[in-house]
Amino acid sequence: MIAVRDGTLPVLKPFRLGTASLPAFRLRARHGAFIAVALFLFIGIGDAQAGPAAAASILATLLKWTPLLARGFALDIAMSFLAMAIGTVAGVVVGLGLISLRAPVRGLAWIVTQLFRNAPWLVMLFYCMLLLPFEVRVGGATIPLPDWLKATFGLGLPVMANVAELVRGAVRSIPFGQWEASEALAFTRWQTLRMVILPQCIKRMTPPWMNLYSILVAAMPLTSVVGVSESMTLVGDVLSAENRSELLVPMYLYLLLWFFAYCYPIARLTVALERRFQVR
């Protein structure tokens, strides 16, 4: 037995599959409260600084532009759903490749995972925008690929890599006895995965998967950099249209509040699910 003098353990503490593979993203109600307070504070300051009543109040301006922002935000949400869907399906396939018995398959899956997990999302977005064609000729028809679709695909790549890691981690966290029992009952490997292992993995993967979605939503404004006309782009457009400097901070805080209002319930649900799915 290794003698321990400095209080450190000679072994690692038990590892619990949770949000360990992604940065912790704990939203609290107080964060939303801060944003809202900051918003109204800046509205107040801005209104005080503004000239006589010729210009409309900031609050009124925000409300005026809300329908437009809502459309932009809706595009953000739609893109996030699509990116998550594409990424999850692809990620499960790559994840199964990561646990394959065949070394070449495992190796290829590993390369794909490491490549897209360790690259900056914005860089991958740029690659997709530039490398994917603006239209695709399939059979006789010509299908245009709009910017937002290319951006969605671009963001699906890091989702795919992270989901693959989640799948691999979840499969490895299933007790070995489950594999032994399945083998002893003469299940093939694929039957074992399909009927015994993967169903148990779904529960374990759900909280970190929802966390990944939260992070993805917060990353949607990246697409404004590559030219997609979503909420961030529209805020910029509105600000240049209004051309009032006191509108700058309140407008961005307003957008922040929108994102918070969407992500916070997801975060709460994730925490509730984690508690319910406590891995015994």
Partner 1 sequence: MASSAPTPTAKWTPDQPLIRIRDVHKSFGPNVVLGGVTFDVMKGEVICLIGPSGAGKSTLLRCVNALVPIDRGSILVEGQEVHDPMLDKLALRRKVGMVFQQYNLFPHRTALDNIMMAPRHVLKRDRHEVETLARALMRKVRLEGKEDFYPGELSGGQQQRVAIARSLAMQPDVMLFDEVTAALDPETVKEVLVTIRELVEDGMTCMIVTHEMGFAREVANQVYFTDRGVVVEHGPPAEFFTNSRDPRTRQFLSQIL
Distance of closest approach, residue 107 Cβ to partner 1, in angstroms: 24
The HSE-up count of residue 236 (CA atoms within 13 Å, CB side) is 9
Q: Which has the closest alpha carbon to 228: 107, 46, 73?
A: 73
Q: Which two tokens stand for residue 249?
A: 């901070």
H helices, E strands: number in the chain: 11, 2
Phi-psi region of 175 (alpha: psi -120 to 50; beta: other; left: phi over 0): beta
Residue 135: strand, helix, or coil: strand
191 binds partner 1 (CB under 8 A): yes
Q: Which residue has the tokens 């979840």?
A: 170
277 binds partner 1 (CB under 8 A): no
The window from 4-12, 19-27, 116-124, 177-185 that contacts partner 1 (CB under 8 A) reads 177-185
Phi-psi region of 188 (alpha: psi -120 to 50; beta: other; left: phi over 0): beta
The window from 6-14, 15-23, 160-168, 191-199 that contacts partner 1 (CB under 8 A) reads 191-199
Q: Which of 20, 60, 115, 181 is in the footprint of partner 1 by CB under 8 A?
A: 181
Q: Which of 178, 265, 268, 272 is in the footprint of partner 1 by CB under 8 A?
A: 178
Count of residues interacting with partner 1 (CB under 8 A): 16
185 binds partner 1 (CB under 8 A): yes
105 binds partner 1 (CB under 8 A): no
Q: Which of 103, 141, 177, 243 is in the footprint of partner 1 by CB under 8 A?
A: 177
The window from 123-131, 155-163, 189-197, 231-239 that contacts partner 1 (CB under 8 A) reads 189-197
188 binds partner 1 (CB under 8 A): yes
The window from 68-76, 84-92, 151-159, 172-180 that contacts partner 1 (CB under 8 A) reads 172-180
Q: What are phi and psi of 7, to 5 degrees?
A: 85, -5
Map the footprint of partner 1 across residues 193-222, applying CB under 8 A.
195-196, 199-200
Residue number, 49 or 188, with CB nearest to partner 1? 188
186 binds partner 1 (CB under 8 A): yes
Residue 260: strand, helix, or coil: helix
Q: Which has the closest alpha carbon to 230: 126, 116, 152, 129?
A: 152
Q: Helical H runs in 99-230?
A: 103-117, 121-131, 147-173, 176-184, 189-192, 198-219, 222-225
Q: Which of 5, 67, 184, 240 is in the footprint of partner 1 by CB under 8 A?
A: 184
Binding mask 119-158 for partner 1 (x = CB under 8 A): ----------------------------------------
Residue number, 145 or 181, with CB nearest to partner 1? 181
173 binds partner 1 (CB under 8 A): no
Question: How many residues can be counted in the chain?
Answer: 280
In the chain, the amino acid numbered 191 is: Q
Distance of closest approach, residue 203 Cβ to partner 1, in angstroms: 8
Q: Are 19 and 25 in contact (CB under 8 A)?
A: yes
Please give the angle made by the CA atoms of 198, 115 and 113, to the nearest 5 degrees. 5
* Binding footprint of partner 1 on the chain (CB under 8 A): 175, 177-178, 180-181, 183-188, 191, 195-196, 199-200
